[in-house]
Amino acid sequence: MNDVTHIAPRDKAEILAQALPYIRKFHGKTMVIKYGGNAMTDPELQADFAEDVVLLKLVGINPVVVHGGGPQIETALNRLGKKGQFIQGMRVTDAETMEVVEWVLAGEVQQDIVGFIHKAGGQAVGLTGRDGGMIRARKLKMVDSKDPSIEHDVGQVGDIVEINTGVLSALLEDNFIPVVSPIGFGDENESYNINADVVASKLAETLKAEKLVLLTNTPGVLDKAGQLLTDLSAREIDALFADGTISGGMLPKISGALDAAKAGVNAVHIIDGRVPHAMLLEILTDQAYGTMIRAR
């Protein structure tokens, strides 16, 4: 944990007192956290993240972690001499790539996160969408962005059909912290690689979560002048889509966040995972460390 010995006792007390109304407000509520970016690859930030998740659990909040793993998948494919192929930003997932995706996400990455949480004093359980029949999926139909008559085959990339949160609810009741790999299953028992932001957003909707938190490698949503927009309504986000302020890699992230806000998740936070303990600071203090999107 970062050294806080330089903070005066009165200031420490002030920080703790500031957190109290938020702890009271969110006690017993569920928060879905999409874990990715630098927060997931920098060892110090990994430890900070695990401590934040455990602290949230200890003050009575129910965190559910959903993780990605693009860089780790890329490394594993390179080791096998296989080059990752992308169409419109989506990884083409043939059968061999899907095998790699499964053992990297559900093996290496997931168990790393579970280990960090245990080290920080929590109890985590790793799951994929297969466990408890959680994420039923079908093959994603990808229409060409320029010519809608063309459909690209991106292999075993999935679109969510249905989410069954029974296994998550049981774990949360038993005080476990679920760590979910974004892998779904189809009618023929085939596996599907699903965008982790989409999985996090859909889980937040289905669990009727209080918050959806997306850790990213950006400060949050920026306006055209590059200034951070800290508080946005769903209507304001729609306007930012329309005028092109939100574009590129932020599009899928924000559209999932917007769906979640419109479906009843009270607040969606897009926060900078490169800031130590950004998640705690965003959730339990008055200070904004990213962009909050409200349903209303």
Binding residues for substrate: 69-70, 91, 193
Q: Summarize the annotated binding site as residue ranges.
A: 69-70, 91, 193
Phi and psi at 222, nearest 5°, equal -105, 150
Burial 144-174 (b: 16+ CB within 10 A, else e): eeeeeeeebebbbbbebeebebebbeebbee
68, 196 in Cβ contact below 8 A? Answer: yes
Burial status of residue 237 (CB atoms within 10 A of its CB: 0-12, 13-18, 19 or more): buried
292, 274 in Cβ contact below 8 A? Answer: no
The closest alpha carbon to 270, from 13, 25, 37, 4, belongs to: 37
Residue indicated by tokens 């800031």: 275
Measured CA to CA, the distance from residue 156 to residue 140 in angstroms comes to 8
30, 180 in Cβ contact below 8 A? Answer: no
215, 279 in Cβ contact below 8 A? Answer: yes
C-alpha distance from residue 268 to each of 46, 86, 98, 203 (Å): 22, 28, 30, 13
